[in-house]
Chain A
Amino acid sequence: MFLTRRAEFSASHVCANPSLSEAENRALYGDAANPNGHGHNYLVEVTVEGEADPVTGMVFDLRELKEVLNREVIEPMDHRFLNREVPPFDRVVPTTENIAREIWRRIQPRIDREGVKLHNVRLYETADLYVDFAGEGARR
C-alpha cells in the first residue's frame, strides 16, 4: 500500500553554475539564471510503501512522517535562499531535479525500516512543473 503526505515550503533560488558565463547560464536555465534570484511555492509529495500494521492499521505514523518532513525539509528550506543558506546548494545548482534528489537523501534514512520504504518524492516547483525521484538508478 502507498501512503502520500504533502508539505509546502517557499524559497528563493538561482539556477546558474558559477564556473559558466552569464550567457551560458541563460542558455541552460533561461530566466531561472537571473543573478539576484527568484522564488517559488514548492509542494512536495512524499510516498511511502508498506503494509498496514495489523495492530495499528497504519503503514507509517503520520505524525512521525510530518515531523521528519518538518525537521529535514521544511524548517531548513522554508523562507530561505537555497543557494546561500541550504547546503549542498552552495555548490549544487538547485534545479527541481537536484532539490528532489536532496529531499530524498535527507528523508530516506528516517523513513526506511523493516517492511517500509520511501517510494517516491514528487516536487512541484510550480503547478505546471514537477519532478519525480524514486532513488538512484530507479526505473520509474
Chain B
Amino acid sequence: MRLTRRYRFSASHRLDVPALSPEQNRKLFGKCNNPYGHGHDYVLEVTLEGAPDGSGQIVRRAELDSFVRERVIARLDHRNLNSDVEELAGAPPTTENLAVATRAMLKRDWPFPARLARVRIAETDRNIFDLDG
C-alpha cells in the first residue's frame, strides 16, 4: 500500500551554467536564464510504501509532517535555490536536480519503517518530475 502526502514551498532560482557562455546559457535556458532570477510555488509529493501497522496507518501523519517540514520545507521555502541549498551547490537548480536533492534530504536519517517510494515535484501545474525513492 502507498500513502502520498503533498507539501508546498515557494523558492527562487536562476538556471545558468557558468562553464557556458552567456549566449549559450540564454539559448539553453531561455527566460529561466534572466539575470536576476524568478520564483515558483513548488508542490512536493512524498510517497511511502509499506503495510499499515496495528493502528491502521502506514505512517503517523504528524511524524511524517514534522520530518518533511524540518528536513525539506524549512530548507527550501522562501529560499534562493542557487545560493541557499548546500545539496544544489555546483548544479543548476532545475527541478530534476531539485528532486534529486530533495530525495537526498529525505533519505538521510529516514526514520520510518515504510520505504520512500517516490518523490514528485511540480514546478508549475504544467511541469511535473517524478523520482523513485
Q: Which residues on A are within 8 Å of B, measured CB to CB?
A: 15, 17, 27-30, 32, 92-93, 95-98, 100-101, 127-134, 138, 140
A132 adjacent to B4 (CB under 8 Å): yes
Whether A100 pairs with B1 at a CB distance below 8 angstroms is yes
Q: Which 4 A-B pairs have the closest CB atoms?
A: A128-B6, A95-B56, A132-B2, A97-B52
B residues near A (Cβ < 8 Å) are 1-7, 49, 52, 55-58, 60-62
The chain A residue sitting closest to B7, CB to CB, is: A128
For the complex, would chain B's binding face be called helix, strand, loop or mixed by DSSP majority?
mixed
- Minimum Cβ distance to chain A for residue B66 (Å): 11
Tell me, rounded to whole Å, the shortest Cβ–Cβ distance linking B67 to chain A. 14
Contact of B55 among A17, A100, A132, A134 (CB under 8 A): A17
Q: Cβ of B1: which chain A residues have Cβ within 8 Å of it?
A: 97, 100-101, 131-134, 138
Interfacial chain B residues near A132, Cβ < 8 Å: 1-4
Q: Is chain A's binding surface mostly helix, strand, loop or mixed?
A: mixed
What are 22 sample pairs from A and B whose C-beta atoms fall under 8 A apart?
A: A15-B56, A28-B55, A28-B57, A28-B60, A29-B60, A30-B62, A32-B61, A92-B56, A93-B55, A93-B56, A95-B56, A96-B3, A100-B1, A128-B5, A128-B7, A129-B4, A129-B5, A129-B6, A131-B2, A133-B1, A140-B2, A140-B49
CB–CB A97/B3 < 8 A: yes
In the complex, what residues of A have CB within 8 A of residue B3's CB?
A: 96-97, 129-132
Contacts of B58 in A (CB 8 A): 97, 131
Residues of A within 8 A of B6 (CB): 127-129
Would you call B4 and A130 a contact (CB within 8 A)?
yes
- In this complex, what residue of B is CB-closest to A137? B51
The answer to whether B61 touches A129 (Cβ under 8 A) is yes
B5 neighbours in A (Cβ, 8 Å)? 128-129
Interchain nearest-CB distance for A122 vs B (Å): 9
